[in-house]
Amino acid sequence: MENPYIPFLMRIEDIILETEDRKIKTFVLAFLNEEDRKGFTYVPGQFAEVSIFGKGEAPFGMASTPTKPEHLEFSVSTIGVVTGALHNLKKGDVVGVRGPMGNGYPLDTFKEKNLLLIGGGFGFSTLRSLTNYILHVTNRPAFGDLTIIYGARKPGLLLYKADLETWKERPDLNLHLTVDQDADGWQGHVGLVPNVTRTLAPSPKNTFAVVCGPPVMMKFTLPVLKDLGFNDEDILFSLEMRMKCGIGKCGRCNVGSKYVCTDGPVFSQLELTRLTGEAHF
């Protein structure tokens, strides 16, 4: 991309309504230009700025996996101007995309390690990307045990129901779904993500914990992981600060001396403590 402020064009191929409250939709985007597709190589955990012409742009994590490079997927929660405008678009409409941006998850560091992925809300999107990347037949042997703890307030607010059904059948993935309150027919856990994590007590041995979700969930999961014996360098968070340029120019997204858009959004607890002290959520 020559000018990093100029987006390339993508067409909306599909729109999946994810949640029963209609607040989160996944947009499946196809590149209009084959050269743009070839140039867009990313790792799970990275994000892109999606623009709605005449409205503005906003950052969203890639929910798709690099192992399926023909599409990009973004799961968008409608809260304001850009996200509201995106929710009003239809199949065939064209949006702009700048990216990929940020550091993403450290895949090389994860090799031969066990992974504990903990998520909630739209933050689960990049953990979905990471999961589907790891489960790909060519990648799975490089990683150890994979455990997921994923929660929502109620079953109808869980994202990616088709993926969840597929993942349940995988013998090489421990999937724990939880809802805040019990519901008819629900067969998973009941309780908040931090409490379920404490009850399940996953081992910290040779394991990275990757946490992505609402700030309150990340805040209360941290002490649980520390009590379980996870070291600060083995606990990773993905942050969702307000952003503007996405490329380290505007100074909008700093955390201590670093920018979330270029140095993050993925930081270890050790890095965050050095940058901000303990109170970073």
Q: Supply 277's token pair.
A: 């002290």
Query: How remote is the C-alpha of 83 from its chain's centroid?
Result: 17
Tokens matching residue 22: 């209609």
Q: In this chain, which of 51, 64, 83, 268 binds ligand FAD, going by CB under 6 A? A: 83
Strands (DSSP E) found in the chain: 8-17, 24-31, 47-52, 56-61, 71-77, 94-101, 114-120, 146-152, 174-179, 189-190, 207-212, 235-238, 254-255, 258-259, 266-268
Q: What share of the chain is helix, strand, coil (3-state, %, to 5)?
A: 30, 30, 40
Residues 34-63 that bind ligand FAD (CB under 6 A): 47, 56, 58-61
76 in contact with ligand FAD (CB under 6 A): yes
Q: In this chain, which of 28, 253, 255, 266 binds ligand FES, going by CB under 6 A?
A: 253
Least spacing, CB of residue 245 vs ligand FAD, in Å: 12
CB under 6 A: which stretch of 10-18, 62-70, 153-161, 246-254 binds ligand FES? 246-254
Q: Which of these ranges, 108-116, 179-187, 199-207, 234-242, lies near ligand FAD under the rule CB under 6 A?
A: 234-242
In the region spanning residues 260 to 279, those forming contacts with ligand FES, defined by CB under 6 A, are 261
Per rule CB under 6 A, is residue 243 in the interface with ligand FES? yes
Q: Give me the residues paired with residue 238 across strands.
A: 266
Q: Which among 41-49, 175-183, 215-223, 250-258 is the span making contact with ligand FES, rule CB under 6 A? A: 250-258
Helix axes 215-228, 193-200, angle to 10 degrees: 20
Measured distance CA(157)–CA(172) in Å, rounded: 25
DSSP notation for 76-89: EE--SHHHHHHHT-
The answer to the question of residue 210 lying near ligand FES (CB under 6 A) is no
Site size with ligand FAD, rule: CB under 6 A: 23
For binding to ligand FES (CB under 6 A), which residues are involved? Answer: 243-246, 248-253, 259, 261
For binding to ligand FAD (CB under 6 A), which residues are involved? Answer: 47, 56, 58-61, 74-77, 79-84, 122, 125, 240-243, 265
